[in-house]
A = this chain, B = another copy of it.
Amino acid sequence: MADHDATTGVLVDLDGTLLDSVYQQVRAWTDALRAAGHEVAAAHVHAGIGLGGDRLVPWLLGRHVDHAGDIAADHTERFLAAADTLRPTAGALALLDDLERRGVPYTIATSAGAEERAALLSALGREDVPVFDAEGTGSSKPAPDLLLAACDHLEVEPANALMVGDAPWDALAAARVRARPIAVRCGGFSDAVLTGAGAVRIVDDPSALIASL
């Protein structure tokens, strides 16, 4: 802790960052979109993963669709059907333990809905971790609302916070409020995309962040 300002805090994304879940998300969204009559390339769906669930469908289709909520619900059902294939990313639990042991204020910050959040935490294998969810926090990522509310909860200034996430949307949200965006590659996003979104440090997975946040 010696090199830590007491006000430094760490926010950690859940889906794709602590869980190796992005490829299941891509398949679930691609299939749900197709079932609703929208053929979208899987690689394009991948590019939108990490956006708020309310934003992904209009972002992909380039327009508002009335049945976006139905697509999102169908996606959740398909994603939960693959929940038994979810595993923690390398070092996920060890990173949380490290933050805990070193007394760094931290929380998982997630905009996943209740059902997905429960499945993800169950796959993480640790249900006693601090989780700040997006319910009632306003606009979804890449808006910084969740991040601001989580910082407020930790009593940390956003400019003193680190945001660890796998998606460019995490980095964008953090950069907007001068939090420090740190990216993990385990979501399958390229360094160019992560850097372009503002990530100041990119590592393969949470294991590389142990003892260094």
A-to-B contact residues, CB < 8 Å: 20, 22-24, 26-27, 30-31, 34, 39, 41-43, 46, 85, 87, 89-90, 185-188, 190-193, 204-205
Q: How many copies does the complex hold?
A: 2
Residues of B within 8 A of A188 (CB): 42-43, 46, 188
Complex: how many Å from CA A27 to CA B78?
A: 14
A164–B31 CA distance with the chains assembled, in angstroms: 26
- Asked if B30 and A42 sit within 8 Å, CB to CB, the answer is no
B190 close to A27 (CB less than 8 A): no
Nearest chain B residue, comparing its CB with the CB of A46: B188
Closest CB in chain B relative to A145 CB, distance in Å = 28
Please, how many angstroms separate the alpha-carbon atoms of A191 and B204 in the complex? 19
Q: How far is the CB of A35 from chain B (nearest CB, A)?
A: 11
Residue pair B89, A41 in contact (C-beta under 8 Å):
yes
Instruction: Give A205 to B204 CA distance when docked, in angstroms.
Output: 28
What are 21 residue pairs bridging A and B, where the CB atoms are less than 8 Å apart in the complex? A20-B41, A20-B42, A22-B42, A22-B43, A23-B23, A23-B30, A23-B42, A27-B27, A31-B85, A41-B89, A41-B186, A41-B204, A41-B205, A42-B186, A42-B188, A43-B185, A43-B186, A43-B188, A188-B188, A190-B191, A192-B192
